[in-house]
Every structure is written in C-alpha cells, then in structure tokens.
Amino acid sequence: MLLAILAPLIIAFFIPTLSRWKSTIHTGIFVFFVPFSIFLFFIQYIGKDFIPIKQVFEWIPSLHINFDLYLDGLSLLFVLLITGIGSLVVLYSIFYLDKQENLGHFYVYLLMFMSAMLGIVLSDNIFVLYSFWELTSISSFLLIGYWHFKEKSRYGALKSMMITVFGGLSMLGGFLLLSVITNTTSIRVMIDQADLILESEYLPLALIFILIGAFTKSAQFPFHIWLPDAMEAPTPVSAYLHSATMVKAGLYLVARFSPIFSQYDWFFIIVTTFGIITLCWGSYMAVRQTDLKAILAFSTVSQLGMIMAMLGFGTDIAIFAAVFHILNHATFKGSLFMVAGIIDVQSGTRDIRRLGALYTLMPITATLALFGTFSMAGFPLPFLNGFYSKELFFDATLGLTANDVGISGIIAALVPYLAVFGSVFTFVYSMYLFFGVFGKSKNNPEDLPTKPKEVSIGMLLSPIILVLGVITIGLVPNLFNNGLLVHAATSIKATASYDHIKFWHGFNTPLRMSLIVVVLGAILYMTKEKWSKIYDVLPGVLSFNKVYDKTLTYIDDGSKKVTNSYMTGSLRNYMLLIVGSMFIISFIFMYITDGFAINMSDLADVTFIEVVVVIAIAIAAVGTIFSNHNITAILI
C-alpha cells in the first residue's frame, strides 16, 4: 500500500524529463499506466471474503506518529474510484490537451494530487492524514490554476485553496483534541475508544472543527462557493477533482469518523441540516446557470449535499445509500464533465444560451449525455444507476420519522419534503442541461464559433466507459454489492448492509416520491421561462461570494494598517518592539510555569558592589535604547 501511495509521486519526478525526451509522444500515454496499474492491483480485493489489511511503518516514533496504513471496505471503494476514474481522466486528457501545452507540469500536479488522495483514504494516523489533506489543497490549487494566464483561473485556484486550507487547519484542531482525549494518533484506536471521546468535555469542539474541515472540502453550504469558480480548470481536472476525488474527501472524513460521532445527537443535527440545505441550494442555483460547467458545478454541490445528509441520518439504509451513491455519482458526473469538455472543444462555447439542436450533429455525445443526465435526475428506469440510490435516499428520509436517530422531530419531519424539493430542481437542471444543448432550439449551430461535429473516438472512449458503468450498475445493481458496497458500508456502521438491490419494490412511498419529482420537475422545466424571474429576488444581492471577497478586502486593508503601524523605519521602535515582546513573552511563560519561584538558598551571598554593577548595566541598556545620539549610545 505504501508503494501505491508513493508511486505517483516518484513517477512525477521523471515526468518533466520524459515529456522533453519524448516530445513526439503525448506525455499522458506514459502517465496512464500509473493509476491503471494501481487500479489493477487493488481490484483483487473485491470479494465477499475481503478482510481489512493494516500496515505500520515507523516515521516519528518519539511522537507516536507512524505511517499507519489501513485498507478496509471504505478505503477500497475510494482507492478504486481515485485510480479508476484517474485512469479514464488521463486517457481523456491525452485527446483533450494539445502536445503544445506544458504537459510536464500538468501531469506532475495530477500525480501529486493522486498520491495525496490515496494517502488520505489509506492513512490510519491523523497527522499523516492531515499531511496528505493539505497536499490535496496545494496540488488542486496548481491544477485549477493550470491555465494561469487567465485571471479567472488564478482567482478560482486561490479561492479554493483559501477555503480548503482554512478547513484543513480547523480539522487539525479537531484531530489534536481527539489525540489529547485518547492519547493516540491512530484512527482505529480512537474508534475503539469512542466512549471515552463521547464523555469528554472537548467533544463539541472536536466535532465542530472536524466538520468544518469536511464541509469546506466537500463544498457544503455555505463553503460551496469555491467549487463553481474552480470550473476554470481544464475539463480533465474538473472531471477528476469534482466527480470522484477532492470533493469526496470531506465525505470520506465524515464517514471515517462516523463510528465515533454517530452516537452524539448533534452530529446528526448538524450534518443532516447542512447536507439537506446544500442539496436544496445547490439544485436551485444550478437551474440559474448558463455555463455548462457551472451547471455541473452546482449539480455536484447538490449531490454532495445529498450524500452528506445520508451520512448524517446514520440509519443502516442511509449509510448504504450514501456509499452506493458515491459510486453512482462518480460514473454519471464524470461522464457529464467529459461531455461538457467535448461540447466546448467542438462548438467553441459553453454558454447554453448559444447552444442547441446538437443531437443530429453529435449523436454519440448526445447519447452519452442522455444517459448521464437522466441518471443524475433519478429518472425511474431500470438501466439508470442513479435511480436506485435516489430511491434508497427517499426511503432513508422516511425512516427518520420511524426510528430514533437522535435528531429533533422537526428536522425528521421536514427532511422528506426538503428531499423532494431538492430532487425536483435536480430533475429540472438535468433536463435543462440535456435539452438545452441537444434539443430543439431557435439557435442555429452554424452561428457558433466552431461548427460542431462528432469528436474522435479517442476522446469519447472515457465517457463511453463511464456510461457503460451507469448502464451496467443499473441492469445488474448487485454486481458490486456483496463484494464492495457492503464492505464499505459496514466499515462505517457494522449493521449497514443491504441484502438485495432491486428496481421494483411495489408502488411504495419512495416510488411515489420519485414520480412526484418527475411530474413536478417536468412542469417546472416546461414553464421555466415564466418562473425563473424569481432568481432576480432570490438570491438577489445575497451572495456568499461577495462575503468572501469583502472579507479578503478587509483582511488585506487591516493587515496593511497593522503593518504600517510598526514598520515606521525607526530603529528605536524596532528595538523596543523586539525587546518588549521578548520580555512580555518571557514573563507570561515564567508566570504560567511558576518560573519565578527560584530557590536561592544554595547560592553565594550577593555583595553590594555586584548589585551596583547589575543596576548600572540595566540603566545603560535602557539608556542605549532611548538615546537620541549615536555617539552617546555607543559610549553608554
């Protein structure tokens, strides 16, 4: 496992040289075999008889920090997504990125990010996990800002790093509190000592700090604002980071620590509330967008909120549904990001207001988009995997009113209605995305910057494989159930297994909820032009982006004022600040540690002359600082 984590980093060192040495061959061809080899290695662990594996490598034993690695069902699911989707993204990038691009840098950043993600999901030590967590923030900053000549790319990269690094520092605070409580840095040991943590007075702070880290990484409301701006990255980056990896890291964190916090009522209240709000707000805002990748960005926000809410529910079916949807979302959302990139390349625009009627010109791409969007909408068809996990989601929301999961009755009663509300807008933006690009339109494709035509099979190969995954899981929903999904779900909660996933459960309440979503969603989509003026009112002037921008402006202005207050150019002031700060810090430290309690019984007697000399030295030192003349200061 250690080699699997380090291999991409090691290979990354040779990529720049390799790209220059074999400039006639696309660098992505060499890179492709890195994630694909790791994927083939870990796929052997899929099976009913899978047993978790733990490896320990000493790192800083004096601080009890070891390179502890742990592979269980949850880690295995994420490893396969990271390397499997990573392989397809690299394959897609070979045809998306021109050889004239700085490919050496791009693939170094990509491999660095891949190593970091593998490190997160395989680490059993909180400080090792944190190190890899911050590495994802740095490498994603480089990937999002890859086209650094664009101002929007630089802005999006900085925004994502500022928010996720803030969350990472908060998460570190939570980790430190857990380490203080349990006297260990091992996640497995912490889980075993969950009762000790639940009895600690630091529990609320630890929970809040860790959840802030998870919410910032997984773009939960109100920290979601970085994700739409991150769409300025090249499409392969968006498809990788925002469908299967980076945004799922926060979900992984919540799932991994769920065995500890799930017995605490506020965990359910906070995670469920933020998840449902994110689902509703993300789906509502997606309908407002006109850029294809912006629509997909907010759709990702809503889908992440849905998964986060299910992790918050904490019931057996909710945990299994969350794990199942993590897999399903990676397939249909990854394919849709790639389709958006194809449309951008072939038409010269991502503005949905200029697109339309592309089905006849790009039939294969349109077919891929059809399966992806309808699966994302949760359309009740047996060959769409998104419907199965959406159905389980509805079932889980209904279970909240029947089971005591530690959340208030008001939230439990509202959740099913909010789930339907968010799902209705999910249906609307899915139809808006597909029919706005490929359906009948007043727009003439001839007026686009580039006349659209079907792209080469090489660029279509990755989204085709992902759509085949959508269809395969839809037709054979139990294909990965016992061998993968059950192991992942039971890693979170021991009883969270689901015996048999099937399409037809009778005309039950979850199916009726799905039909309500389809009917209301279809009506809202067909009447979109009439009601969309509501966006002029809500959110209107309300914008967390403005809050972010204003906050940075105030911090920048405030830091300038503080800096100007002490950077006066006066040596005297500098010496006063340095000596004064040292004195105050020393005094506080000695006071706290009882450093003034000095035992002088064993010391020799102090003579009068020695006292006079010490006083003279002290007066001279102070006089030197406040002297107005250099010669006088030297003489003193």
Quick one: which of 214, 213, 113 has its CA closest to 169?
213
- 420 lies in some domain: yes
User: What average pLDDT does range 20-47 have in this prediction?
Assistant: 89
Q: Which of 66-70, 600-604, 624-628 tops mean pLDDT?
A: 66-70
Q: What is the pLDDT of residue 389?
A: 94
Three-state SS for 442? coil
Residues 513 and 621 in one domain: no
Q: Give the least confident one: 17-31, 251-265, 620-634.
A: 620-634
Contact 314, 205 (CB under 8 A): no
pLDDT at 401: 66
Place of tokens 């040779």: 14
Pair (433, 485) in one structural domain: yes
Residue type for position 407: I
What are the distances in angstroms from CA 236 to CA 82, 107, 452, 455?
A: 13, 11, 20, 16
Confirm if 116 and 139 have CB atoms less than 8 A apart: yes
Residue 584: inside a domain: yes
Candidate from 142-146, 244-248, 383-387, 542-546 with smallest mean pLDDT: 542-546
For residue 119, tell me if it sits in a domain.
no
pLDDT score for 20: 76
User: Does the structure show a pLDDT above 80 at 588?
Assistant: yes
Q: What region, left, alpha or beta, does residue 281 occupy, with left being phi > 0 and alpha being psi -120 to 50 degrees?
A: alpha
Q: State the total domains in the chain.
A: 3
Q: What is the DSSP string of 40-70?
A: HHHGGG-STT---EEEEEEEEGGGTEEEEEE
Q: What pLDDT does 280 receive? A: 96
Q: Both 575 and 557 in a single domain?
A: no
Q: Select from 520, 249, 247, 505 the least CA-distant residue to 392.
A: 505
For residues 548 and 615, state if they share a domain: no
Side chain identity, residue 521: G
pLDDT bin (cut points 50, 70, 90) of residue 408 is: low
Separation of alpha carbons 315 and 495, rounded Å: 9
Instruction: Write the CA distances from 527 to 158, 191, 374, 533, integer angstroms.
Output: 38, 51, 19, 11
Q: Indicate if 586 and 542 belong to the same structural domain.
A: no
Instruction: Give the residue-averaged pLDDT of 254-274.
Output: 94
Q: How confident is the model at residue 567 (pLDDT cuts 50, 70, 90)?
A: confident
pLDDT of residue 17: 83
Nearest-10 crossing angle of helices 246-261, 103-122: 10
Euclidean distance between CA atoms 248 and 270, whole angstroms: 18
Q: For residue range 275-301, list pLDDT tens digits in order.
A: 999 999 999 999 999 999 999 999 999
pLDDT band at 609 (very low <50, low <70, confident <90, very high): confident
Give the model's confidence band at 606: pLDDT under 50 very low, under 70 low, under 90 confident, else very high.
confident
Residue type, 487: H
Biggest alpha carbon–alpha carbon distance for the chain: 104
- Give residue-wise pLDDT tens across range 409-427: 788 889 999 999 999 999 9
Residue 412 has a pLDDT of: 86
State whether 503 and 595 are in the same domain: no
Whether pLDDT at 537 is above 90: no
Predicted local distance difference test score (pLDDT) of residue 620: 84
CB 146 within 8 A of CB 233: yes
CA gap 27, 102 in Å, rounded:
10
Asked if the model's pLDDT at residue 405 lies above 60, the reply is no
pLDDT grade for 23, boundaries at 50, 70 and 90: low
Same domain, 454 and 378: yes
Single-letter residue type at 141: F
The pLDDT value recorded for residue 59 is 80
> Which is it for the CA torsion 24, 25, 28, 31, positive or negative?
negative
Which pLDDT score is estimated for 576? Answer: 86
Looking at residues 157-179, what average pLDDT do you find? 95
Q: What percent of the chain has pLDDT over 90?
A: 67
Give me the chain's average pLDDT, please: 90
Are residue 611 and residue 551 in the same domain, yes or no?
no
Distance CA 254, CA 167 (A): 13
170, 134 in Cβ contact below 8 A? no
Separation CA 570–CA 170 (nearest Å): 38
Mean pLDDT of 360-377: 95
pLDDT value of position 269:
92
Among residues 322, 324, 325, 317, the alpha carbon closest in space to that of 399 is found at: 317
165: in domain: no
pLDDT exceeds cutoff 90 at 146: yes
The stretch 250-266 carries a mean pLDDT of: 94
Query: Which pLDDT score, from 0 to 100, does residue 305 have?
Result: 97
In Å, what is the CA distance from 129 to each residue of 36, 171, 175, 188, 323? 23, 11, 10, 13, 21
For residues 442 and 307, membership in a common domain is answered with: yes
Q: What is the pLDDT of residue 548?
A: 87
- Whether 557 is in a domain gets the answer yes
More confident residue, 359 or 599: 359
> Residue 492 — pLDDT band, cuts 50, 70, 90?
very high
**pLDDT bucket at 249, cuts 50 / 70 / 90:** very high
Query: What is the reported pLDDT for 635?
Result: 61
Helix and strand counts by DSSP (H, E) for the chain: 26, 2
In a domain, 157, yes or no: no
Task: List beta partners, residue 58.
Answer: 66
Backbone φ, ψ for residue 51 (5° rounding):
-125, 135
Q: Please check whether residue 223 lies inside any domain of the structure.
A: no
Residue 332 predicted with pLDDT over 60: yes
Q: Which residues span the domain enclosing 614? A: 568-635
- In this structure, the dihedral spanned by the alpha carbons of residues 98, 99, 102 and 105, taken in order and rounded to 10 degrees, is 100
**CB 53 within 8 Å of CB 116:** no
With a cut of 60, say whether residue 404 has pLDDT above it: no
Instruction: Please calculate the CA angle 114-252-175 and round it to the nearest 5 degrees.
Output: 100
Q: What gap in Å lies between CA 619 and CA 611, rounded to an integer?
A: 12
Mean pLDDT on 499-528: 91
Phi (first) and psi of residue 600, to 5 degrees? -105, 15
Q: Please indicate whether residue 254 or residue 605 has the higher confidence score (pLDDT).
A: 254
Q: Is the pLDDT confidence value at 472 over 80?
A: yes
For residue 378, what is the DSSP state?
A: T
Strand, coil or helix: 67? strand
- pLDDT of 292 reads 94
Task: Name the pLDDT band for 476 (thresholds 50, 70, 90).
Answer: very high
Q: Are residues 380 and 280 in the same domain?
A: yes
Render pLDDT for 34-69 as a digit per residue (tens, 0 to 9).
Answer: 999 999 999 999 988 899 999 988 887 777 678 889
599 three-class SS: coil
Residues 330, 85 contacting (CB under 8 angstroms): yes
Task: For residue 51, give Cα distances in angstroms to 79, 124, 494.
Answer: 16, 16, 14
- What pTM was computed for the model? 0.89
Residue 428 sits in the same domain as residue 492: yes
pLDDT of residue 410: 82
**Residue 375 pLDDT exceeds 90:** yes
Which residue shows structure tokens 């509703």?
A: 280
- 2 neighbors 69 (Cβ within 8 angstroms): yes
Last residue of a domain, one of 521, 552, 567: 567
Domain assignment present for residue 602? The answer is yes
Q: Are residues 388 and 331 in the same domain?
A: yes
